Amino acid sequence: MSLLSVEQIDARHGLLQAVRQVSLDVADGETLAIVGANGAGKTTLLRTIAGAHRPSGGRIVFAGADITDQPAFRRVRAGIALVPEGRRLFPELTVEENLRVASAAGRRGRWDVEAVLEAFPLLRPLRGKRAASLSGGQQQATAIGRALMTNPRLLLLDEVSLGLAPVVVEEVYASLARLVAEGTTIVLVEQDLARAMGAATRVVCMLEGRLVLEGSAGELSREQVTEAYFGLGRGRA
């Protein structure tokens, strides 16, 4: 049984339909990358799964339960955590305080402050620094760590590498590789095709709100994904 099933989901922003009849499954322990150009509907889909955006149609099933109408805080308690685009930390709180805030709404599990600092060693010397004083990469690591503090079964990551220097992206993805190795289930929205295909077990591509390509990251070619990304070819692997 899939950990997450998205069934014929529609989502709108007013009159604009951002997600159109999207269906996908995510298995326990899988890393799924969702790629596509700006405006393809990736972020809206992720926010809809997390409960931050209400769907206009379809159904979302998580761990066998229909969560379509559940608010975001109940989804966090069920085991879904979202790292939003732009990080959205509490700027005046320290790194450690940002982490501890999340633990109050989470579930019991292995993730505590010490475990997060082990997964993201760049944060250890920064635990007492205010989030506002951190670099973009440090903020991203803190945001991912904050999500982990809820002890999620499913981690949703929106645009991990956006706006970060290449060397910082390397550090963040090295930490993500450790999470993947531990069996963390991840859905990753990413515009960097090479990063997405290197980190994921499976890749789906969105175009104008629809899924237009889906397949194993090891079997899809970069050319296939690029064609789907720009709407030059449609199909499923």
**Nearest one of 72, 52, 49 to 2, comparing CA atoms:** 49
pTM of the shown model: 0.91
* pLDDT (0 to 100) of residue 109: 87
The structural domains of the chain, ordered by start, are 4-229 (3.40.50.300)
- Residue 128 pLDDT greater than 60, yes or no: yes
* pLDDT (0 to 100) of residue 105: 67
* pLDDT (0 to 100) of residue 235: 44
**Which of 51-60, 84-93, 98-107, 111-120 reaches the highest mean pLDDT?**
51-60
**Nearest one of 154, 174, 171, 169 to 82, comparing CA atoms:** 154
More confident residue, 22 or 163: 22
Per-residue pLDDT of 130-182, as tens digits, reads 999 999 889 999 999 999 999 999 999 998 888 788 888 888 888 888 888 88
Amino acid at 11: A
- Residue 23 pLDDT greater than 60, yes or no: yes
In this prediction, residues 19-41 reach a mean pLDDT of: 95
Average pLDDT, the chain: 91
Q: How confident is the model at residue 233 (pLDDT cuts 50, 70, 90)?
A: low
Which of 27-36, 161-170, 227-236 is predicted least confidently?
227-236
176 touches 137 (CB < 8 A): no
Which conformational region is residue 33 in: left (phi greater than 0), alpha (psi within -120 to 50 degrees), or beta?
Answer: beta
* pLDDT (0 to 100) of residue 49: 98
Amino acid at 31: T
57 touches 10 (CB < 8 A): yes
**Nearest one of 222, 155, 163 to 193, comparing CA atoms:** 222
Q: How confident is the model at residue 216 (pLDDT cuts 50, 70, 90)?
A: very high
